[in-house]
Chain A
Amino acid sequence: MQKIKEVQEQQPFAHWLNGVEGIGGVWARKLVEAFGTPKEVYRASEESLLAIAGSSRLAGLLAAQKREVYKEYEEMDQEGILFLPYYHPEYPKRLLQIPDSPFGIYVKGKPPRDGERSIAIVGARNCSAYGRYVADAFARVFAREGVCVISGMAKGIDGVAQGGALAAGGSTYAVLGCGVDVCYPACHGTLYEKICASGGVLSTYPPKTAPSPRYFPPRNRIISGLSDAVLVVEAKQKSGTLITVDMALEQGREVYAVPGRITDRLSDGCNWLLVQGAGAALSPAQVLRELSETVWRNHQPDGCKAGAMTLGESTAGAGRVIGKATGEIDRQERALLSLLDFYPISVEQIYMMAQREKLLCALALPQLMELLWRLVVKGFVMDEGGYYGLKKPI
């Protein structure tokens, strides 16, 4: 099974074996080891299959033997989808180390390279503006430092993180709970295309498999398995994200959590992880520095980006950097800025605060609105659909 040519010849059968009903990763591997090659499994007689696989798996195998192996494989091949069985030289080595490692993995785009540093960014789908901002900011810095971002392309944190990595020109890999040719969620069509182009979309499920709730927990173990560390941005106390964390711990991956306010239910999961001993992610630079001292100590930059650790300025303040904006501000604008926080609040709340603090008291609502928008235009303040907060760093 060592020669590339031989591996190539076996590809249609490996793909076939991966799709057999009732045969999981462990059994597929056992069958290949018993028969020598997937092709032999395909050609095996009923008696020999019964002897090795047992009666419960026999029916599935026999039914599958009737399928047109080459045609199915060619269809997939034409769509540019790769199948990497565990013995394939391009099969990610990291996956071989994890318990219950998959028999093979489908890839649309490029498979992740073994030398590449990678961090998974995961979190809630119903995330807050804070979570969205943090995921985006971390992913951008990681991408700039040549660390690839791995996630599940889900709505919320996952998608935002991958979008951020792409925007910063980095590579990112998405692990799906459906076939790699199925874009789920459908609203991430553009993101999906971009990920295929710059990184890759991965799945253990054969192409055309529709998403199903039971497919998602197993795919979470691939996300953590492909990464050196898992960063949780926002998660509720009981969530799928925490399943990924469990998998990561089982696989011996580093776990980082972004601390949140104790009043935010969306940060409960993260804060709880911190209590349990997860690393606190205070800024992307700090996470990268800690990882480079531990997991990546022996990492050789493989040419993707030279001078990997040029953190310099961004290390300072660990995230508490106030955005530099342009333009002069007058006394009134300064007073208004003093009322605002990074957490956006409504005009109503700002008006109430101004009344309470006896700041800008004389200002009527229309003038307050003008003042706010002047600051938005000057880049000091962010407008989030009628809610205003200080512009965040990065």
Chain B
Amino acid sequence: MFSAVNTGGIRGMDAYPVRVEVDLSRGLPCFELVGSAGSEVKEARERVQIALKNEGMVLPVSKITVNLSPADIRKEGTGYDLPIAAGLLACMGVFHASDFLHTAFLGELALNGEVRRINGVLPIVIALKKEGMDTFLVPAENAGECAAVPGIRTVGIRSVGELLCYLKADEEERQKRFPTYERESAGQVKGSGKDFAQVYGQESVKRAAEVAAAGFHHLMLAGAPGTGKTMIAERIPDILPPMTEEEKLEVSGIYSIAGKLQTEGLMEKRPFLAPHHTVSPQAMAGGGRIPRPGLLSLAHRGILFLDEMPEFSSAVLEVLRQPMEEKRVHIDRSYGSYTYPADFMLVCAMNPCPCGYFPDRNRCNCSPADIRRYLGRISGPVLDRIDMITEAAPVAVKDLYEAREAENTAAIKQRVLEARERQQFRYQKSPYHFNGELPGSEVKKYCQPSFGGQRFLEQMSEAGQISARAFHKILRLARTTADLEGREKIEQTHLAEAVCYNSGRRRFWNQISM
């Protein structure tokens, strides 16, 4: 007796369809599982047998062979329990597998017959939908993410009993007992309760944060301790433009694979990750024997915030290089290579020297060698990919009290959204989303300043010792400041502002060479 049911597996970021073939034949009673199954997949034999027994189903005394096809791809994860159980039930004649050609099964079984959540449901569902599947039997806890994929029927399953119920029932009863899971419409995304209005002073740094958020530019905040670097960085996620549906699915897919997706369904807010500086390079890039997405990928389309950046190990900081350039992480293993997306906005904060007060010579006692060593921890290539290096200068207490009412997050977000719309329109026919993503070769095409602006930029670079290297960064930033103002032409104001966001590099990194 032979039967086959559909399921899917994950390899790196890619999902692929898997057919679970089950055969009962005469011979010595045994339970074989073949098809490049990993150790946790092999354990499915025990879980399935016992779960079925505890639901009152006794396996026939015969030679049971399960094959996971295609047999040459290594299978990982626990999602094969439910399809194996379904395949066995079909072989035992409980239902006709031919009735379920367009149904996919996913889920892990507990010994008492319960169905438990698994990782990676969302990308599998998306991939199987492309293969023509229209009904998905998934663990009830994963139903939310599954239902986020439009145009399919999602059935949340709690136990083997429910599975049996579903399989045996006729269409009418099914519709009644197992209505398609409706995802609760995502309400207003909750803010963090942190508002820019709570930050007094540091107007220039707040403005820098706004520009960074509008153009998705990497931002570094350098400055003495207690100047509000962290406070401002924590408020950036709230002014970022919301994710598009496409982005939501993309980000949720990564979180699904990493097993970090909440039961409500998709990720509604852009990720904000702030790892501690003791994080390991593997945790950052992703890895493990079976690679999993690391923090860089979990920050995809969101913010990766590195507080006290020079305190991170140099290995971790070097890991940033490739993703900042290619927007993805590449991991190679002996049995294959994996690629995870990692298009994040880097926000980092740092003191300019070990004591934190450089270049204020009245307070800083660090020797030039100390400072060079400290600043040098951030390697040239990483530094080179950060468009904005802004100083958060110490704020006088007097200024804090005299500061007028600061602008709140909502007002800033409004401007960011408008700038975002302009970018969306501009890049609709190109692979880019934000100004910050433009490679040097495209800067000329999209960031051409007006005639007066061009002349002013040349004059500024002469007067202010701005290196030719910084030109692309300045033009990209000027594009964003112009977008924020709602202008298509890049004018003097926009360029002057962009030059100011380059000042930290001159202040800290150029000064140490003297």
Q: Which residue of A lies closest to B458 (CB)?
A: A377
Q: A348-B203, A352-B201 are in contact. Are A264 and B362 (CB under 8 A)?
A: yes
A347 neighbours in B (Cβ, 8 Å):
204, 500
Kindly supply a per-residue 1/0 record for chain B positions 477-514, scoring 1 wherever the CB is within 8 Å of any chain A CB and 0 otherwise.
00001000100000011101101100111111011011
User: Does B135 have its Cβ within 8 Å of any Cβ on chain A?
Assistant: no
Closest to A377 in B: B459
Binding-face segment, A81-89, A164-172, A309-317, A368-376: A368-376
Interface residue B48 (Cβ < 8 Å from any Cβ of A):
no
- The residues of B that contact A155 with a CB separation of less than 8 Å are 368, 514
Contact check, B494 vs A348: say whether CB atoms are below 8 A apart.
no
Cβ of B251 within 8 Å of any chain A Cβ, yes or no, is no
* Chain A residues with a Cβ closer than 8 Å to the other chain, count: 35
B367 within 8 A of A: yes
Contact segment of A93-101, A217-225, A289-297, A378-386: A378-386
Q: Please name all residues of chain A whose beta carbon is closer than 8 Å to the beta carbon of B459 when the two chains form the complex.
A: 377
Q: Are A385 and B203 in contact (CB under 8 A)?
A: no
A126–B485 alpha-carbon span in the complex (Å):
42
Closest B residue to A365 by beta carbon equals B207
With known contacts A263-B362, A356-B402, A386-B503, A376–B464 Cβ distance under 8 A: yes
Tell me, yes or no, whether B101 is within 8 Å of chain A by CB.
no
In the bound assembly, the distance between CA atoms of A374 and B362 in angstroms comes to 31
Docked-complex contact A386 and B361, CB < 8 angstroms: no
User: Which residues of A sit under 8 angstroms from B514, Cβ to Cβ?
Assistant: 132, 155
A265 to B493, Cβ gap below 8 A?
no
Complex Cα gap A126–B370 (Å): 12
Q: Does any Cβ of A come within 8 Å of B393's Cβ?
A: yes
- Residue of B at shortest CB range from A351? B203
| CB-based contact B460/A377 at 8 Å | yes
Most chain B CB within a 10 A radius of its CB, from A265, A351, A377: A377
Q: Any chain B CB within 8 A of the CB of A148?
A: no
Interface-central residue, B395, B507, B513, by most chain A CB under 10 Å: B507
Q: Verify B361–A264 contact, CB threshold 8 A.
A: yes
* Closest partner residue, chain A, to B366 (CB atom): A126
Q: Which of B203, B402, B506 meets A386, CB within 8 Å?
A: B506
Chain A residues in 8 Å Cβ range of B289: none
Query: Does B496 contact A348, Cβ atoms closer than 8 Å?
Result: no
Residues of A close to B464: CB separation below 8 A: 373, 376, 383
B496 pairs with A369, CB closer than 8 A: yes
* B201 & A385 in contact (Cβ 8 Å cutoff): no
Across the interface, which residues of B come within 8 angstroms of A198, CB to CB? none
- Whole-angstrom distance from the CB of B510 to the nearest CB of chain A? 7
Interface size range on B against A? 35 or more
Chain B residues near A366 (CB, 8 Å)? Answer: 207, 481, 485, 493-494, 496-497
Judged by a CB distance under 8 angstroms, whether B463 is at the interface is: yes
A341-394 with Cβ < 8 A to chain B = 346-349, 351-352, 355-356, 365-367, 369-370, 372-374, 376-377, 379, 383-387
The answer to whether B362 touches A265, judged by C-beta atoms less than 8 angstroms apart, is: yes
Cβ of B392 to closest chain A Cβ, rounded Å: 8
B181 CB, min distance to chain A CBs, angstroms: 49
Do the beta carbons of B497 and A385 come within 8 Å of each other? no
Within 8 Å of chain A (Cβ to Cβ): is B384? no
Instruction: List A252-267 residues whose CB lies under 8 Å from chain B.
Output: 263-266
Bound CA–CA A385/B205 (angstroms): 15
* A386 touching B504, Cβ below 8 Å: yes
The answer to whether residues A385 and B496 also contact, given A265-B362, A365-B207 and a CB cut-off of 8 A, is no
Q: Is B190 an interface residue (CB 8 A)?
A: no
Q: Give per-residue flags for B447-486: 1 if the beta carbon is below 8 A from chain A beta carbons, else 0.
A: 0000000001001101111000000000000000100010
Of the residues B368, B393, B505, contact of A349 by C-beta under 8 Å: B393
Contacts of B511 in A (CB 8 A): 385
CA of A377 to CA of B465 in the docked complex: distance in angstroms?
11
**Is B399 an interface residue, CB under 8 A from the partner?**
yes
Which residues of the partner chain B approach A365 to less than 8 Å between Cβ atoms? 203-204, 207, 497
Please state if B361 and A376 are interface contacts (CB–CB under 8 Å).
no
B496 near A370: Cβ-Cβ < 8 Å: yes
Q: Contact mask B174-214 → A, CB, 8 Å, 1/0?
A: 00000000000000000000000000011111010000000
Q: A128, A352, A370: which contacts B497 (Cβ < 8 A)?
A: A370
CA distance A266 to B390 in the complex (A): 26
B404 within 8 Å of A by Cβ? yes
- A291 vs chain B, min Cβ distance (A): 29
Q: Are B504 and A385 in contact (CB under 8 A)?
A: yes
Contact B463 A376 (CB under 8 A): yes
- Which residue from B204, B361, B492, B508 sits with its C-beta under 8 Å from A385? B508
Can you name 11 A-B pairs with beta carbons within 8 Å? A125-B367, A125-B368, A127-B361, A264-B362, A352-B203, A366-B496, A367-B493, A369-B500, A383-B464, A383-B506, A385-B507
Ranked nearest first, the 4 interchain pairs of A and B with the lowest CB-CB distance are A386-B503, A385-B507, A385-B506, A370-B496
B residues near A, CB below 8 A?
Answer: 201-205, 207, 361-362, 367-368, 390-391, 393, 395, 399, 402-404, 456, 459-460, 462-465, 481, 485, 492-494, 496-497, 499-500, 503-508, 510-511, 513-514
| Beyond A125-B367, A128-B361, A377-B459, 15 additional pairs, beta carbon < 8 A | A265-B362, A348-B201, A352-B201, A352-B403, A355-B404, A365-B207, A366-B493, A369-B499, A372-B496, A373-B499, A374-B492, A383-B506, A385-B506, A385-B510, A386-B506
Residue positions of A touching B, CB distance < 8 A:
125-128, 132, 155, 187, 263-266, 346-349, 351-352, 355-356, 365-367, 369-370, 372-374, 376-377, 379, 383-387
